[in-house]
Amino acid sequence: MTTSRAPHPSARGAELTRLPAYRSTDPTAQHPDGVIDLANNELALPPLPAVAESLRHNADRVNRYPDPTARTLHHAVSRHFATGPEQVVVGPGSGAVLQQFLLALCGPGDEVLYPWPGFDAYPLLVALAGARGTPVPLTAAGEHDLPAFAAKADARTRMVILCSPHNPTGRRIPQTELREFLAALPPHVVTVLDQAYLEFDEEEDTSDLDLVHARPRTVLLRTFSKAYGLAGLRAGYAFAAPDLAALGRRTLLPFSVTRLAEQAAQISHDHPQQFASRLELVRSARTRLCEGLRAEGLAPLRSYGNFVWLPLGAAAERFAAAALGAGVRVRACPGEGVRISVGGDEAHRRVLTAARDFGPPGG
Ligand SMILES: Cc1ncc(COP(=O)(O)O)c(C=O)c1O
């Protein structure tokens, strides 16, 4: 008897099957062996006390649906940044908000440029929208190659995604270069500036939304997952000109932002002092981690995020294996380098033990 594989129910199904799965560690397998996870750029601190209290308070209301369009979150963001609600888009995480814009603006025949290596979800979300993704390699210094982006942007290019501070290198795009680049882009191209890690950059003013006014085809993408430490709750947002923002709201999956997430995000804005001192903790831990790695003969890049990048090239996986051996999981980008999230003292001690065992990168 011959067996033949069942055909895909649709051409789209066949296309989806070919997509790479999102790379991640299995959260259920994270801790049984005592391994500390520094592979996901999470905040290594527990929620603010007021957020934890709100979660307890709202726990017995989960039989009720949340607001389908997350108006509490929408207005909280608009109030906090003193911007009109018509310029705000919210969603269950900034990855979801990016998807909302991709679904609203891009489809078959459109091209989306994004930096690479970059956030693993970019190629996936672009493909899910049916558009064609074109990765634009970073420079050898781990920076965006803006001239290469400009050279590739043509009539088919619908969107350019930039990320600053950049995941995984932690480098940021200098303001002057960014503004010159945006001003020279053809008007049919929308730029999404992914600012998931912006709050960790002490030199950035997070309340400055001028880019949206300077070039109205610009979307600023933000999240509560990183600096606010709400990754497990899913709340993200974006700023854009009113016509663009209206499109980003159209594609929000109704009820996808939970009440727990809305409340926690709103409360997070009410505690600016606690927030600022946590950011300071992360920045000084980042400095210590870099100094420790340098003392072991490695060359981490100056990072503006809550993570550190070691450009180890072909030795990336060997370092990640050494780290796992020392009880800490880091993210290897094969052939490129290793990204290490900023963690607590014990996690850093293990990373430095791994660095010592690892020896020189070429060894
Ligand atoms: C650059 C970048 N953008 C966006 C996200 C998505 O974050 P979230 O969907 O949790 O807001 C991440 C998460 O790691 C990221 O690294």
> What CATH number does the domain containing 316 carry?
3.90.1150.10
Q: Are residues 310 and 195 in the same domain?
A: no
- Show the domain range for 286: 11-39+273-358
13 compared with 55, residue with greater pLDDT: 55
Q: Based on the fold, state whether residues 118 and 21 are members of the same structural domain.
A: no
The predicted-structure confidence for 282-315, as pLDDT tens digits, reads as follows 999 999 999 999 999 999 999 999 999 999 999 9
Task: Give the count of beta carbons closer than 10 Å to the beta carbon of residue 86.
Answer: 13
Across 107-116, b (16+ Cβ under 10 Å) vs e yields eeebbbbbbb
Q: Is residue 51 domain-resident? A: no
Q: Assess whether 240 and 289 both reside in one domain.
A: no
Q: Ligand 1 atom closest to Cα of 166?
A: 1
Single residue among 228, 247, 269 that ends a domain in this structure: 269
Name the domain boundary from 210, 240, 269.
Answer: 269
Cβ proximity of 111 and 132 under 8 Å: yes
Does 193 lie in the same domain as 131?
A: yes
Is pLDDT above 80 for 360? no
Nearest Cα neighbor of 239 from 131, 129, 72, 80 is: 80
Contact 68, 254 (CB under 8 A): yes
The predicted structure's pLDDT at residue 45? 93
The Cα–Cα gap between 125 and 132 comes to 10
Choose one of 23, 219, 223 to mutate for the ligand 1 pocket test, by most ligand atoms within 8 angstroms of C-beta.
Answer: 223
Q: How far is the CA of 254 from the centre of ligand 1 (A)?
A: 21
Strands (E), 50-177: 88-91, 111-116, 132-137, 157-163
Q: Are residues 175 and 222 in the same domain?
A: yes
Residue 155 alpha carbon to ligand 1 centre in Å = 28
- C-alpha 356 to ligand 1 mean position (Å): 31
Are the C-beta atoms of 168 and 176 separated by less than 8 Å?
no
CA-to-CA separations, 344 to 34, 148, 255, 281, in angstroms, rounded: 14, 38, 35, 10
Residue 194 falls within a domain, yes or no? yes
Q: Sorting pLDDT into bands at 50, 70 and 90, what band is 9?
A: confident
Contact 328, 289 (CB under 8 A): no
Residues with CB under 6 A from ligand 1: 41, 93-95, 119, 163, 167, 194, 196, 223, 225, 231, 236
Q: Say whether both 21 and 149 belong to one domain.
A: no
Q: How does 7-46 read in b/e, with b if 16+ C-beta sit within 10 Å?
A: eeeeeeeeeeeeeeeeeeeeeeeeeeeebbbbbbbbbbee
Query: CATH number, domain at 147?
Result: 3.40.640.10
Whether residue 329 contacts residue 354, with contact meaning beta carbons closer than 8 Å, is answered with no
Distance (angstroms) between ligand 1 centre and the Cα of 345 equals 24
Structure tokens at 159: 């969107």
Confidence of residue 190 (pLDDT cuts 50, 70, 90): very high
* 82-171-231 Cα angle (round to 5): 55
Q: Are residues 161 and 67 in the same domain?
A: yes
Give the model confidence (pLDDT) of 193-221 as tens digits: 999 999 999 998 898 899 999 899 999 99
Same domain, 80 and 210: yes
Tell me, what's the pLDDT at 19?
A: 81
Q: Per-residue confidence at 231, pLDDT binned at 50, 70, 90?
A: very high
The mean pLDDT value for 149-171 works out to 98
Q: What is the pLDDT of residues 91-140, one digit of tens each?
A: 999 999 999 999 999 999 999 999 999 999 999 999 999 999 999 999 99
**Are residues 194 and 174 part of one domain?**
yes
Looking at 97-166, which runs of residues are DSSP E strands?
111-116, 132-137, 157-163
- Reduced to 3 states (helix: H, G, I; strand: E, B; else coil), residue 318 is helix
55-79: per-residue pLDDT in tens? 999 889 999 999 999 999 999 999 9
4 pLDDT above the threshold of 80: no
